[in-house]
Amino acid sequence: MTSPTPTLPGQPFFAYRNGQLMAEDVAVADLARTHGTPLFIYSQAAMLSALAAYQRGFAGRQALICYAMKANSNLAILQTFVQAGCGLDIVSGGELERALRAGVDPAKIIFSGVGKTRTEMRRALQVGIGCFNVESLPELDVLNDVAINLGLRAPISLRVNPDVDAKTHPYISTGLKGNKFGIAHTDALAAYRHAAALPGLHVKGIDCHIGSQITETSPYLDAMDRVLDLVQAIEAAGIPIEHIDFGGGLGIDYHGDTPPAADALWQQLLAKLDARGYGQRKIVIEPGRSLIGNAGICVTEVLYGKTGEAKNFLIVDAAMNDLPRPAMYEAYHAIVPVTPRTGEASTWDVVGPVCESGDWLGRDRTLNAQPGDWLAVASAGAYCMSMASTYNTRGRAAEVLVRGHQTHVIRERESTDDQLRLERPLTD
């Protein structure tokens, strides 16, 4: 079969010109030649374009956009969003330190997650973060104790689980009653009464997050209705709610997915907010994947072509430790040649060198590729490097940020010495 014309998500920031895949105004082949592979390449213009859609959606509103840094926590990427006006959503003490290194105003940090430790709470209180999104009654009590011991009051929202189906992969669905996240919708009013009675806490808002890679509008609208019902009941009980936090979760195009544009989504959500009388309330959101996912690619070199009776395999130098999503979720990433060849293409499974059958990047892909060619794995900006590992003592990949014609190495390739630095061999 003849190789089709390559297309990939992330256009126009990743697109072909004169037979070469470009990242903005830089040839991807030149970056692979200079920096080696596997190599993550990010487009700053793509990030800022994705953010601009949210900013348009909130024009004229009181809103705080906190980038969910678990999606990709490289310091240069954090700086890009912070300098564009974002706060940051964190889920660990380590992410708190990264956020501070990136120069964010601590008052624009939201601390989410189900398992915050006393040490993490203490540090976050000491630096003056904006809000804790609390996910259980025991966490409320521990945070209250930590705050009292510091002579402070902890600003909190309660994360409410609205039992809304986000219609996404079960591993990244977070808003159903069977998920570990949040406080049950039916228990929320009692939890707010408990929180308001604790002297070390200051109730500031309500939080809801129903999942990730959501491609439909209806789950958001359903969740908003449930949250606003609760706001009405909580305030009727004498507990004011300063802000409403609707989390993140908006999906991206991995394989013909058609999520609503961020500005269009928020036009609908804000119309509902206005209709119910909450249009002037402060809004907080925490997008991650939708800001960075299609702003990154991973470039990998073809090592071998292996033909078999049932399958043909293209073995490449990127693996499940670099791109964990296919192994974890059977996720689809478009895979395209950096320099397309003419002629006949074949059907391949694109796999890595790690000693696991789950080490695959794409199945049944039509490609015309030879050893030494470079392939680009698209939509690799989110949940790839942030979940990368050193399995098989493989060093984590280098990362490059492109800004027009300029390139910046934002993470050096990890060496074996880097990995062994903290280990201590036996000496006798």
Q: Which residues are catalytic?
A: 355
End-to-end, the C-alpha distance of the chain in Å comes to 62
Q: Which two tokens stand for residue 241?
A: 């709610």
* Residues 6+ positions from 115 with CB-CB distance below 8 Å: none
Which of helix, strand or coil describes residue 203?
Answer: strand
- Return d(Cα 250, Cα 272) in angstroms, integer: 18
Which of helix, strand or coil describes residue 163?
Answer: coil
> Bridge-partner residues for 39, per DSSP?
299, 398
* Residues 6+ positions from 379 with CB-CB distance below 8 Å: 8, 9, 10, 252, 253, 254, 293, 294, 296, 297, 333, 334
| Half-sphere CA count of 27, side-chain side, radius 13 A | 10
Q: At residue 405, what are phi and psi to the nearest 5 degrees?
A: -90, -10
Helices (H), 246-364: 262-275, 289-292, 325-329
- Return d(Cα 11, Cα 50) in angstroms, integer: 12
Q: At residue 369, what are phi and psi to the nearest 5 degrees?
A: -140, 145
| Half-sphere CA count of 30, side-chain side, radius 13 A | 11
Sole residue written with tokens 């009181």 = 62
- Return d(Cα 362, Cα 365) in angstroms, integer: 7
Q: Which two tokens stand for residue 66?
A: 């906190």
Q: Which two tokens stand for residue 110?
A: 């939201």
Helices (H), 276-364: 289-292, 325-329
